[in-house]
Structure 1
Amino acid sequence: MAIALFVCVCVILLSGFPVAFALAGTALWFALIGAATGHFDAAFLGALPNRLFGILNNQTLMAVPLFVMMGLVLERSKLAEQLLDSMGQLFGRVRAGLAISVLLVGMLLAASTGIVGATVVTMGLLSLPAMLKRGYDPAFASGAICATGTLGQIIPPSIALVLLGDVLSSAYQQAQLNMGSFSPKTVSVGDLFAGAIVPGVCLVGLYIIYTLWLAYRHPDKFEPIQAVPLDRKLLLNVLSALVPPIGLILLVLGSILMGVATPTEAAAVGALGAIILALLRRQLSWVRMKDVLQETVKVTCMVFMILIGAALFSLVFRGLGGEDLIHQALSDLPGGVIGATVIVMLVIFLLGFILDFIEITFVVVPMVAPTLLMLGLDPVWLGIMIGLNLQTSFLTPPFGFALFYLRGVAPPELTSGMLYRGVAPFIAIQLLMMLLLAFWPGLATWLPQQIYG
């Protein structure tokens, strides 16, 4: 019945039914059927009030609406437009300079907003017409924009890492409980933020290397844009565009990594800093602020409703013996911990074709993470691997959300086939980054060890 529950949920999600209600409703129906047939103990549902109270009282999850608000305010303040213009002038002499500018600006937007939809739509409106006008291959241009837009999933401060940090912390405690041991060490959002910095920068570096390789092979499609004299005025324009967002990122991320502030406190500082920057740019009105607050409430409600539905789903799944089934299946796989990790990553990658990262984080990760941690995996390394894997869920056709976002603002001549062809190399690059991280776990664990010991 546990397997049937999981399959049934996936089928209902594919039908387009709201995720939170699909999880909760299906779980309740299976609980009713299981209780009637003697396969489910209704006492498991007695833990639901404590679960819900724990969600509402979770200090870490309070960072979600604050980071969302910070990203929306920066997106409304036309940060991307000024960054892209300045970076384009700075790299105007370089072949493929516009593409490199798009990649770097996308990285900065990912770190400052962390909202994939906002980044992809903004970059699509600003940079896609310019790239097509200068003769760039439409497939490459669309793939580069979608790939950089998804960097918000892995480059901190990231909402996905905040959610993963909370889920992995619970999974780590569950793993210790199952092993009959207790250690004061746990995995925090700060650990994941620190662990994601090196892989995130390496991923951007791989994107740039791929772009330069294409420019070398097809120089006629990557002509330099009109060069602007490298004078004091240009440098001042670049600095005025770069310093405020980078300063805000360093303030938020640095306060978390140095232990000065919790993720929630740093997110509050980030939201306030974003409002101040928008006011200084004269880009924040009462109407825009109202839109920001309304959108923040919508995103927050969606995340927490899914979290509540996932809590009910996990209780019923555990009551039906699903957790023991998964633990036994992963433990008995050939290859031990390596085989189990490969299978889990493959399942998450395939589920990314049909499910959003929030559903995977709240439904799939709590099922498999305790077993993988019991097998001896480092929780920070596992979190970054899952984060990179979830990033591909925004790019993989046919349900990649980044593809939908860009398709909505792209010109009619950009077909879906071009989009799919454009993102394929970047998906391969992300998988290569996961492979590198698998062979060199220190890419994710070295920096947290240096900071936290």
Structure 2
Amino acid sequence: GTILLAGEQIKKGSKRVRLAALAIFALFVMAQNFDLRTGVDVITFTNMIAIGVSLIFCGVIILGLGTSLQHCWRQGILNEVMQTTTRVTSMVFVILIGAALFSLVFRGLEGDEMVHEFLINLPGGEMAVLASVMLIMFLLGFFLDFIEITFVVVPIVAPVLLVMGFDPVWLGVMMAINLQTSFLTPPFGFALFYLRGVAPDSLKTSQIYRGVIPFVIIQILMLFILVMFPEISTWLPDKLFNKY
């Protein structure tokens, strides 16, 4: 999708790019209404036609992607994007390797058991443990990026919360909203610095801070609503995966 958008921005009105975008939508509709699997024992005539049409859509998508990549290459954008992507991907893998080594050493020194005992012995029960973990992750969001918190902090605290009986889907949604709120909270929110970097000089930093406060309040309210009504976050996954 991003490649198609880039191609459309470079060359307005490209028919191949627009047809590819329509083909993606059509392919999604086909997948929702027909069985496009080829590995089943019996394929009905209707599904055979649907598979053939879907292959045509795939060809249109590939053609559109090729056209978009060609436009990006001619403008010199593709080379710069590939270099940036390589640097970011390398950084992520270095963090992942470092997080894995940290987890091994931490568990080897029985640090996970210390954290488990500390959280279990907190007064107030399960909700106190959840609130403590959320507060710690919220504060860490001021100084660490999402990747570091996900690879280092979550593997340490999540097992304790899961053992206590918290739903993993609900817990994941809670952590995601909590971190998103942290990244928006002045004065250390990462998202605010990103916005400051692209905002015009006429927009003051204090205005950004004041403008983001309503969004922070809304997300904090959402956390409380999810605590009271966890079904909000689990209803759709339950329907998609036929849990009930």
State TM-score, norm by structure 1: 0.41
RMSD: 3.4
Match of 2:181 among 392, 399, 402: 392
* Alignment correspondent of 2:21: 244
* Alignment correspondent of 2:41: none
Amino acid at match of 1:76: A
State TM-score, norm by structure 2: 0.73
Match of 2:73 among 285, 294, 298: 285
The separation in 2 between residues aligned to 1:431 and 1:317, in whole angstroms, is 32
Output one character per residue of 1:376-424: Cα deviation in whole Å (capped at 9) or x when no partner: 1111111111111122233123332222222122222211111111111
The separation in 1 between residues aligned to 2:198 and 2:22, in whole angstroms, is 25
* Alignment correspondent of 1:180: none
* Alignment correspondent of 1:346: 135
Aligned residues: 208
* Alignment correspondent of 1:403: 192
Change in 2 beyond 3 A, CA 1:279/1:398: farther
CA contact (8 A) 1:337 1:375 kept: yes
Displacement after TM superposition at 1:447 (Å): 1.4
Match of 1:430 among 192, 203, 219: 219
The separation in 2 between residues aligned to 1:340 and 1:275, in whole angstroms, is 53
Change in 2 beyond 3 A, CA 1:246/1:275: closer
The separation in 2 between residues aligned to 1:279 and 1:365, in whole angstroms, is 41
The separation in 2 between residues aligned to 1:408 and 1:274, in whole angstroms, is 35
User: Between Structure 1 and Structure 2, whose CA radius of gyration is higher?
Assistant: 2
* Alignment correspondent of 1:416: 205
Change in 2 beyond 3 A, CA 1:441/1:323: same
Unaligned runs of 5+ in 2: 38-57
Displacement after TM superposition at 1:328 (Å): 0.8
* Alignment correspondent of 1:329: 118
Amino acid at match of 1:437: L
Change in 2 beyond 3 A, CA 1:418/1:326: same
Displacement after TM superposition at 1:75 (Å): 6.1
Partner of 1:325, secondary structure, is helix
Unaligned runs of 5+ in 1: 1-69, 83-239, 261-269
What are the within-5 Å matches in structure 2 for residues 246-285 of structure 1? Answer: 247=24, 251=28, 276=64, 279=67, 283-285=71-73
Q: Percent identity?
A: 51
The separation in 2 between residues aligned to 1:275 and 1:296, in whole angstroms, is 23
Displacement after TM superposition at 1:313 (Å): 1.1
The separation in 1 between residues aligned to 2:102 and 2:184, in whole angstroms, is 27
Partner of 2:142, secondary structure, is coil
Amino acid at match of 1:407: R
The separation in 1 between residues aligned to 2:107 and 2:200, in whole angstroms, is 48
